[in-house]
Amino acid sequence: MVTDILLLVLAIPAGFLLSWMAKDELKEGKKWFKALFVISLVLTGVFWVYGISYAALTSAFVAIVSLVSMIKSR
């Protein structure tokens, strides 16, 4: 459980790193980051309900990274 939370917290610096490395694509991809965030949240819920914890954590990681990138695109 602690490892899962630690890995999800590491998604925040990964999002900042991704947004720093791809500055030129942030404005063009804003709608795609939003879509990726929503789809990842839905998949996180679906995987969590079905008990597939590794897939739920992976999609939650993607959701956090895309949220940070979406925020940095403003």
Q: What is the per-residue pLDDT across 2-19, written as a single tens digit (0 to 9) for each?
A: 998 999 999 999 999 988
Mean pLDDT rounded to a whole number for the chain: 92
How many domains is the chain built from? 1
40-57 average pLDDT score = 96
Structural domain harbouring 12: 2-72
Dist. CA 65–CA 74, nearest whole Å? 15
28-41 average pLDDT score = 91
- Whether the Cβ atoms of residue 73 and residue 26 lie closer than 8 Å to each other: yes
Q: What is the pTM of this model?
A: 0.90
Is the pLDDT reported for residue 31 higher than 80? yes
